[in-house]
Each structure stands twice: as C-alpha cells, then as structure tokens.
C-alpha cells in the first residue's frame, strides 16, 4: 500500500527561526515521485518541488531546502529564516505509476510563523 505520513500536525515558530517539516512515505514501487505543496489561507494548492525516486540529491531554492533519503523513506522540507508569509499548510505527496498517476497526500502540517 502507498501512504504518506506527516506526523507534525501543527508547528509554531517565531520569525527568522529555521523549521523542518517531516514527511515519511511508503510504497513498493521503485519508480515514483515525491512532492511538496503549499496551501495558503486562500486555499489554492501551490506546487513547490518534485523529486523522482532516482534522484536523491538535496535541493535548495532560496530559503527552502529538501532532503530526500530513500534509506529512511523520508522527504523532509526545511525553511531557513522563516517569515510570516510562510504561514500555511504544507502537504507532502507521493505519485506512483498506474491508478491514473494519482497523488497520495499526507495529512498536512500547519505552519504558523509569528512576528
């Protein structure tokens, strides 16, 4: 079975703190994609990053960085020097082949960044 677990339901930090959002996934497929999406209060899902199962390189984009480790089935997301505008719900998701290529989402982590 495929599954995505985001154990942190809510995280609250003060502006400029670093914060890491955890994501653990389960799949028997050898080919899959992992994603992070951001959902601001407006509700729309905003794509942040995609990783395929053959690429374990960490990625950095500005204040955002992602750590993909197949050995622990984890795909964690770190925001450096958090800002109030980072406040949102963040979803980790898994996409596998077959079944229409659907996305399986974790339950989301609500991040609150206070000034």
Partner 1 sequence: SQTIHQWPATLVQPVGSPLSLECTVEGTSNPNLYWYRQAAGRGLQLLFYSVGIGQISSEVPQNLSASRPQDRQFILSSKKLLLSDSGFYLCACPGGSGANVLTFGAGSRLTVL
The one among 13, 50, 74, 80 contacting partner 1 by CB under 8 A? 50
- CA pair distance 14, 66, nearest whole angstrom: 21
CB nearer partner 1, residue 86 or residue 90: 90
- CA pair distance 71, 89, nearest whole angstrom: 26
- CA pair distance 19, 24, nearest whole angstrom: 17
CB nearer partner 1, residue 13 or residue 105: 105
Site string for partner 1, 8-47 (x = CB under 8 A): -------------------------x-x-x-----xxx-x
CB nearer partner 1, residue 15 or residue 50: 50
Q: Residue 88, Cβ neighbours under 10 Å: how many?
A: 19
User: Could you identify the residue written with the tokens 């960085």?
Assistant: 65
75 binds partner 1 (CB under 8 A): no
Phi–psi pair at 11, nearest 5 degrees: -135, 135
Which residues here bind partner 1, judged by CB under 8 A? 33, 35, 37, 43-45, 47, 50, 52, 89, 91, 95, 99-105, 107-108, 110
């Amino acid at each position: 079975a495929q599954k995505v677990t985001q154990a942190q339901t809510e995280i609250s930090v003060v502006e400029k703190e670093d914060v890491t959002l955890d994501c653990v996934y389960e799949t028997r497929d050898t080919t899959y994609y992992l994603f992070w999406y951001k959902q601001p209060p407006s509700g729309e899902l905003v794509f942040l990053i995609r990783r395929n199962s053959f690429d374990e390189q960490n990625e950095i984009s500005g204040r955002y960085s992602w750590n993909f480790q197949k050995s622990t089935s984890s795909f964690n997301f770190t925001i450096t020097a958090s800002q109030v505008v980072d406040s949102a719900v963040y979803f980790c998701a898994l996409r596998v082949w077959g079944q229409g290529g659907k996305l399986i989402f974790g339950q989301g982590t609500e991040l609150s960044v206070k000034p």
